[in-house]
Amino acid sequence: MSSPTTSAGRSSRVSSGSRMSARWKDGLAPLCAFIALLALWEGACRLFAIPGFVLPSPSAIAAAAGKVAPGTWAGHIGATLKVSLLGYGLSILVGIPLAIALSASKALSRTLYPLLVVVQSTPIVAVAPIIVVVLGAGDLPRVFITFLIAFFPIVVSTVTGLQATPAELIELSQSLGASRLREYRNIRLPYAIPHIFAALRISITLAVIGAVVAEFVAAENGLGYFINFSTSLFQVPQAFAALMMLVLISLILFQLVGLAQRLLFAWSLPKKSP
């Protein structure tokens, strides 16, 4: 009577246990590699007595990070996050509608695409000082620089996704006499979701880079500014600490985009092979 339920319970526990251990292995291997790298770094710094201003050891970086007041960190992190996310949001708001327009109209695509490539081919780092002069002080030039760096992959990838829709589905839509608006909303856009998210993941890291570039050029706070400030005072360990913060922010944002896709569009993820 009770044996089937217990055996079922046991088997499910076993399978969830093995899934747990698989997840552990997935997370543990890179963590071990990371710790080994840190140890190697620390060891090399001590063994060869590398000066702190050339390559500070991880322990020196941690000590430098501890010396900066938490409020100061929060201020710089908050500033960089704000610019990154505003620029990122703007590149989504502009990039996706632009991609729809480009894929819907051949004439528009022929006209605008070369222009977009020109924008993308221009080194934004070189244009950044000009943008700051034109747009003045404040967050606006920084957000705009971030947008310029982050939006291109979104446009290209979304156009690719919209056009990757199977021709038969478009024919089905046409055979039903459905409008192009519905064709885009019900078929093409959902089909583009995997492509869009691939671009969103690339663009979030680009957005952080964009914010830092903007802060290098003109800012009074933010992690990019803080790195500049620290190196100008030869406080290299402190600059490294700020760099670590940037890496951490990028990693977390990257993971959050992946999480959003898993939560909102689980179907769009590639199936794991058993």
Query: Do residues 155 and 99 touch, judged by C-beta distance below 8 A?
Result: yes
For position 176 contacting another protein by CB under 8 A, the verdict is yes
Terminal Cα-to-Cα distance of the chain (whole angstroms)? 32
For position 43 contacting another protein by CB under 8 A, the verdict is no
Among 143, 157, 149, CA closest to 98: 157
Encoded tokens for 160 = 């690719």
Cβ closest to another protein, residue 122 vs residue 174 = 174
Q: For the chain, give the longest Cα–Cα distance.
A: 80
Separation between Cα atoms, residue 110 and residue 115, nearest integer Å: 9
For position 166 contacting another protein by CB under 8 A, the verdict is yes
Q: Of these, 135, 169, 202, 243, which contacts another protein (CB under 8 A)?
A: 169
Region near another protein per CB under 8 A, out of 20-28, 105-113, 161-169, 235-243: 161-169
For position 163 contacting another protein by CB under 8 A, the verdict is no
Q: Of these, 135, 178, 243, 244, which contacts another protein (CB under 8 A)?
A: 178
Cβ closest to another protein, residue 54 vs residue 176 = 176
CB of 45 to another protein, least distance (A): 51
Separation between Cα atoms, residue 83 and residue 15, nearest integer Å: 44
Query: Do residues 212 and 225 touch, judged by C-beta distance below 8 A?
Result: no
Q: Of these, 83, 100, 187, 242, which contacts another protein (CB under 8 A)?
A: 187
For position 171 contacting another protein by CB under 8 A, the verdict is yes
CB of 191 to another protein, least distance (A): 8
For position 174 contacting another protein by CB under 8 A, the verdict is yes
Query: Do residues 160 and 195 touch, judged by C-beta distance below 8 A?
Result: yes
What is the DSSP code (8-state) at residue 54?
T
- Residue 183: phi and psi, rounded to 5, are -60, -40
- Residues in contact with 45: Cβ distance below 8 Å, sequence separation at least 6, in sequence order: 55, 56, 57, 58, 60
Interface mask toward another protein for 190-209; x: CB under 8 A: x--x----------------
For position 267 contacting another protein by CB under 8 A, the verdict is yes
Binding region for another protein (CB under 8 A): 166, 168-169, 171-178, 182, 186-187, 190, 193, 265, 267-268, 271
